[in-house]
Amino acid sequence: MVWGALEKDGAPRPKRQRFAWAPFEAGLEYGAGPPVFQARQRVIYGDTDQMGVVYYANYLRYFEHARNELFRAHGGTYRAFEAQGLMLPVVEAGVSYRAPARYDDLLLIDTEISAASRVRLTFVYEVRRDGEQAVLCAGHTVHACLTTAGKPARLPDYVVKLVAHREER
């Protein structure tokens, strides 16, 4: 996250920036979604382990859910990206676990694209329980842009430019 002002307790809080994901469908305008997208995920019983907390690997599924919802919030879908002959497989993932989530918790997953290069996108995530400020889990994923044949491909210029415009603000 991009860090801005401090919360009342002195902890840094993410600075919300204007950010727009390029539309994938004709007729949609840039700026259709919020700067940091927030997905919602209810913890189901099957997501928990014997200790009654969310199994650690499930946070990566929550990140994927949030990424897909971010695409939708900005006028497109991952399916539409694939229709362009491109894929974004995960090539790196990092997760920091701070406190457990439990069965039936409603989780809020803040997601944004923090960086882009010609062939990579980096997403960052923070997971909180609805109604609470404490971060339960934070992480990132790095994605390589590949063709459907598995060969490296450049990200479309409009994606790189949009991320650059977000970083300039």
47, 49, 104, 130: the catalytic one is: 49
CATH number for 145 = 3.10.129.10
> How would you class 18 by CB atoms within 10 Å of its CB: exposed for 0-12, middle for 13-18, buried for 19 or more?
exposed
Active site residue 49: yes
Using alpha carbons only, how large is the chain's radius of gyration in Å? 16
d(CA 134, CA 101): 11
Residues contacting residue 41 through CB under 8 Å, at least 6 positions apart: 62, 65, 66, 106, 107, 109
**Within a domain: 5:** no
Q: What is the count of structural domains for the chain?
A: 1
* Range of the structural domain that residue 29 is part of: 15-168
d(CA 25, CA 23): 6
pTM of the model: 0.76
pLDDT digit string (tens) for the chain, length 169 residues: 333 444 455 555 444 332 333 333 333 333 444 457 899 999 999 999 999 999 999 999 999 999 999 878 877 778 888 888 999 999 999 999 999 999 999 999 999 988 888 899 999 999 999 999 999 999 999 999 999 999 999 987 656 655 654 555 4
